[in-house]
Structure 1
Amino acid sequence: MAGRQTAFRVLLRMELVPGREEEFERAWLAGADVITGQPANLGQWLSKSAEEEGVYYIVSDWTDEARFREYERSDQHLEHRRTLHPYRSSGSMVTMNVVHSMAGAGDGR
């Protein structure tokens, strides 16, 4: 089923300090509710690159850009970033607007 979406998506690419992957995953899981507990957050996902050693991607969806930016400037966000910073050697962020969404046959919804 196809549908029009208006979500604001954030994609973070993080390169980790070698050997810190398991610690990073534990720290991410321990603090994930900081993001998902935000009223404007629609969900988030942590993925590990299948092609690049020590590279992770974090995707989070938000109701709109303004509410994401509000969270991005908050003390909660800064503290969450400080928690994950020791594991990161570099990273980047890309933002986008979801235009359409289509569930796959295996989705089960």
Structure 2
Amino acid sequence: MAAQAFRVMLRMNIHPGMEKEFEETWYRVGKAIVDHPANLGHWLSRDAEEPSVYYVVSDWVDEPRFREFERSDDHLEHRTKLHPYRSGGSMTTMHVVYGMTGAASASHGDR
């Protein structure tokens, strides 16, 4: 992880019963994000306690490039496809100060 990466974390509340369809749609439309030249990675996680709550973490080379993507037609299209599944949520942004890779990362890989 680059030391000054910009991280975006979304909490997404999904309508109960639509979780699987949401996950599949998120995966299909995620190319719009990972293909952006300033994107470092993009992950979807489901809350262990609340099965209709998801977290999306997306890392960017810097904040200005993320904001550029955030205002783009590609982002609008991405959001439009995911909107029907959402019942609410929030967004948090942050600057990564340090990043450390764990010993098991090479054998475990991103999922």
What is the TM-score normalised by the length of structure 1?
Answer: 0.94
The aligned length equals 107
SS of corresponding position for 2:104: helix
Aligned partners of 2:35, 2:106: CA distance in 1, in Å?
25
Aligned partners of 1:83, 1:94: CA distance in 2, in Å?
21
The corresponding residue for 1:100 is 98
Quick one: which of 3, 19, 22 aligns to 2:20?
22
Quick one: which of 56, 61, 69 aligns to 1:71?
69
Deviates more, 1:98-107 or 1:63-72: 98-107
Unaligned runs of 5+ in 1: none
SS of corresponding position for 1:14: strand
What is the TM-score normalised by the length of structure 2?
Answer: 0.92
- 4+ residue segments displaced more than 6 Å: none
Aligned partners of 1:4, 1:27: CA distance in 2, in Å?
29
Q: Give per-residue Cα distances to partners, 1:9-50, cap 9 Å, x unaligned.
A: 000000001100000011001001100000000000000000
Task: Please list, as runs of the form range in 1=range in 2, the aligned pairs for 1:1-109 lying within 5 A after superposition.
Answer: 5-108=3-106
Percent identical: 60
Q: Give per-residue Cα distances to partners, 1:44-100, cap 9 Å, x unaligned.
A: 000000011300000000000000000000111011100000000001000000000
